[in-house]
Structure 1
């Protein structure tokens, strides 16, 4: 299922550092250097007459609870036509580096809350799976925590009639050294960002 972006519409990318990608906070339309910029640039290059606006509200370090706390200001107040969400790896990471876990039910509760609150916009939803490209045995152990959260996103996509971008599955199936895609198992290289952008573009189309 693809999402159709209306002519002159607004697309919001929101999430954690993977979406943030070094965006300039002082410049409201800066998309950073990652997949959000790549996807927005390629969409516009392919459909320049569609005049779609792209906005990035990724914040490094965010978990789903942080997204929920800022949802009114950083999503609803912007009145986007399409909302693209990538969140979840920090909900796993904090369990292992700070002993501060997020349970799968807690993750689902906060994620569902932001999706329910977005319904009043009438916006279409694109849910990008959280992902991990393990570089060592320690990170491979993180899958026990992350996999249930990936399942939550898949179930919520079905529940809310959202378009799912299955990047975790894509990275797992890539069949090459993970260092091609990521610096540390979490943050993508330019090639990893490009892979996400390609998957995102396959899920989004201009409305006719």
Structure 2
């Protein structure tokens, strides 16, 4: 998959995708990984505008919130590439509000969204896995909920032939060489460096640069 100038790339998810975007400005991309991806793709297209990029992340959302706005925030824009980043709030709300999101229901909901998008738009799909860089023992126990949820995300992605960006591997791997707080100060929300790592992982999976030909 190599996005072209006539592609529309739509990103949807929670606060990690939202990244402070101005919701009054439809062109606002926020200051996170979506912005970094857009900057890179536009830099690769000096003679054209690059693909159209839309950010529809909203902080605090769980997968069911995405489903409630999927028609207006995804289908109506007719994107050709759809990237979904969801799951951490489905876990987080269990621990701070006792608001449960059973993994089987979560998986079924995500699967419905991906399948409907492929069916209605013939769009190419990308899924970014949820991740956590625990900053204390209270967050360590989140993995009892998050690990099976990540597996559910992977199953839904495979079932719908989606590209997968393994943020759950990329960020912990980077945390081996630096403090976790450098990548996600609260364990969940990426720093600028964390966002750049997610963007680089997306670009490597979805829009890799062409290898240099050997002579």
TM, length-normalised to structure 2: 0.92
2:94 and 2:60 mapped to 1: Cα distance? Answer: 13
Larger radius of gyration: 2
Secondary structure of the corresponding residue to residue 2 of structure 2: strand
Asked which structure has the greater RCO (Cα within 8 Å, sep 6+), the reply is 1
Match of 1:20 in 2: 18
Moved over 3 A (4+): none
Secondary structure of the corresponding residue to residue 9 of structure 2: strand
1:52 and 1:102 mapped to 2: Cα distance? Answer: 35
Determine if the alignment matches structure 1 residue 188 to structure 2 residue 187. Answer: no
Deviations 1:71-93 (A, max 9, x none): 00000000000001100000000
Counterpart pick for 2:206 among 194, 204, 207: 204
Alpha-carbon shift at residue 123 of structure 1 (Å): 0.4
Q: Is the 8 A contact 2:90 2:100 kept in 1?
A: yes
Unaligned runs of 5+ in 2: 211-215
Alpha-carbon shift at residue 51 of structure 1 (Å): 2.6
Deviations 1:145-192 (A, max 9, x none): 001111011112211111000011111222031101012011111111
Match of 1:159 in 2: 159
Deviations 1:76-131 (A, max 9, x none): 00000000110000000000000011111011011011111102201000100011
Unaligned runs of 5+ in 1: none
TM, length-normalised to structure 1: 0.95
Deviations 1:49-89 (A, max 9, x none): 36311000000100000001100000000000000110000
2:201 and 2:138 mapped to 1: Cα distance? Answer: 28
Q: Is the 8 A contact 1:5 1:81 kept in 2?
A: no
Secondary structure of the corresponding residue to residue 196 of structure 1: helix
Q: Is the 8 A contact 1:125 1:163 kept in 2?
A: yes
Match of 1:88 in 2: 87
Match of 1:5 in 2: 3
Match of 1:33 in 2: 31
Match of 1:127 in 2: 127
